[in-house]
Copies of this chain bind each other. A is one copy, B any other.
């Protein structure tokens, strides 16, 4: 019988709703708090920063949210995304497991970020905004927003984490090609940036600082709103299109995953692929393990503390319940820039606390090794971020093989690594440092957290 390597869906088969896991969570997420009063804050307090519709989605309890026609129409330029059976990788590994991957790199931004960029730009335009600010780490999110804003006729200003700005000049050029303004962060265009530079003129930046800069710029102007590419509930919501499609594609493959794996930065791609399968666990009695992989150098899920903390470095966001290493923790300069974030989204944090999802860590060299094995077998050069998911899948296949069990493993290849090839060069030159944070280092980071009096 002919091997089926890729499982496609037609435009018509594309799901028309995002899935909101909040509706099925046994313990609902804790509310955001006002940092000064420590009282829960209502959605209205978020509306000077975010689009109103996105704030509604942020606090929604509805199980499914309709995807607007305008978003569906633009999704069609790259969705539904393919799901592949990784026959070649299976062969190289000599595994008895069945490996599948969903590939989110096949769109203009080269990653899953387009899935939420498009609706975020759409809602802001609809509400009369003229300009958007945002931050970007590795550059995927900034690229995703750049085209989406261009398409809907919005100006975009991107604060790009300085270490990525320097390591990844092509991402900046890509954003410029789509017509955006890109500013390395920390910059001297904001209070938050100037404060970071005063503390350390050579500061490599972090997503936390870049977020502070983007929010500060947005709140100064009534026609400018801020957008975030991960962490928040509405971002996870938009990303569920990945898992919604994967459910249908698994049915086409006449199979079902024992394990679903994604890498973890703020949580959006992992949430996207796993939440629809979590619903099957919670509602339909399935028992799929939902496993996320984070860098050993930024282990908020496996070693961080579940507590209220800020989403950004400068403390401009409300306090959010999350696993965190402290909002002013600056992660090591690993090449998976998109995973360099101090905290985890509220939803995956609560789900981890409740034992409904799992987390493990990996060192970066081991992930590049997995990424190269994947490229040489499956042909796609993965983003360094995605290589964490690949490494996780390879590990799980090995464990299953040792136990003599054939498992079905689905992992998310969240993006391609074509603009990260310099990182691969460093890997080949044996020029990458591995660091696993110790408990002591985590304690030291957490002890530095300062909240407003």
Contacts and interface: CB of A to CB of B under 8 A. Distances in A.
Interface stretch (A170-178, A197-205, A347-355): A170-178
A133 B170 CA distance: 30
A418 B174 contact: yes
Contacts of A147: 375-376, 379
A377 B147 CA distance: 8
A150 interface: yes
Given A5-B77, A6-B77, A150-B376, A108 B381 contact: yes
A425 B76 CA distance: 29
Contact of A376 (B8, B179, B372): B179
Contacts of A378: 77
A422 interface: yes
A176 B424 CA distance: 9
A177 B421 contact: yes
Contacts of A177: 372, 375-376, 381, 421, 424, 428
Interface in A89-111: 106-108, 110
Given A77-B84, A422-B173, A107 B379 contact: yes
Interface string A168-194: 001001101111000000000000000
Interface in A123-144: none
Given A108-B380, A170-B170, A428 B11 contact: no
A176 B426 CA distance: 12
A174 B421 contact: yes
Nearest to A78: B379
Interface string A353-383: 0000000000000000000100111111100
Nearest to A79: B6
Contacts of A223: none
A200 B340 CA distance: 48
A106 B108 contact: no
A453 B401 CA distance: 67
A419 interface: yes
Nearest to A4: B11
A7 to B, nearest CB: 9
Contacts of A179: 376
Contacts of A151: 88, 377, 379
Contacts of A419: 170, 418
Nearest to A107: B379
Contacts of A425: 173, 176
Given A176-B428, A428-B176, A110 B379 contact: no
The 5 closest A-B pairs by CB, nearest first: A108-B379, A173-B421, A5-B76, A170-B421, A418-B418
24 contacts: A2-B11, A4-B76, A5-B73, A6-B77, A8-B10, A77-B84, A77-B378, A88-B151, A108-B375, A108-B379, A108-B380, A147-B376, A147-B379, A150-B376, A170-B170, A170-B419, A170-B421, A170-B422, A174-B381, A174-B418, A176-B425, A177-B421, A178-B376, A418-B418
